[in-house]
């Protein structure tokens, strides 16, 4: 085998390796994006300093007398949100609310993580 043939084979091997790397990169990007879209995430457990995988769930609750978006957010938001305002905005979006006003005996869909 001559030197030119060895160089050609090496170039083909490098090209094939780059193609495989590109495919793996795209696949990982799709998987990470899908996890983010489904609400799957990770957070660090404060006690053990280990990453904990979380899953987002939804439930419907009946609004009781004296409930507010603020009090409901304090009960359900957990550590997966940056602020209570972020969670309240999500509650409003999920429930198509134009204001912070909620009424007793109505139902509200809330998000929580496990």
* Structure confidence at residue 95 (pLDDT): 93
Q: Where do the structural domains in the chain lie, given as residue ranges?
A: 1-38, 41-113
- Using the predicted structure, report yes or no on whether residue 90 has a pLDDT greater than 90: yes
Q: Which CATH architecture has domain 41-113?
A: Roll (3.10)
Angle at 83 between CA 79 and CA 84, to 5 degrees: 95
Residue 38: is its pLDDT beyond 90? no
Q: What is the DSSP letter of 100?
A: S
Half-sphere exposure of 93 (CA within 13 A, CB side): 7
Question: The tokens 């050609």 sit on which residue?
Answer: 8
**Whether 56 contacts 108, CB under 8 Å:** no
Please report, for residues 99, 104, 105, the alpha-carbon distance to residue 67 in angstroms, rounded to integers and kept in the order given. Answer: 15, 8, 10
| DSSP secondary structure letter of residue 80 | S
Radius of gyration of the chain (CA): 25
Under the banding of pLDDT at 50, 70 and 90, the label for residue 23 is confident
Using CA atoms, how far apart are residues 113 and 78, in angstroms rounded to an integer?
A: 7
pLDDT band for position 84 (cuts 50, 70, 90): very high
């Amino acid at each position: 085998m001559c030197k030119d043939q060895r160089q050609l084979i090496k170039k083909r091997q490098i090209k094939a390796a780059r193609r495989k790397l590109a495919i793996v990169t795209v696949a990982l990007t799709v998987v990470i994006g899908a996890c983010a879209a489904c609400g799957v995430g990770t957070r660090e457990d404060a006690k053990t300093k280990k990453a904990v995988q979380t899953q987002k769930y939804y439930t419907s609750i009946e609004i009781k007398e004296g409930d507010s978006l603020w009090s409901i957010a304090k009960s359900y938001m957990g550590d997966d949100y940056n602020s209570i305002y972020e969670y309240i905005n999500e509650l409003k979006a999920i429930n198509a609310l134009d204001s912070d006003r909620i009424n007793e005996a109505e139902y509200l869909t809330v998000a929580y993580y496990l």
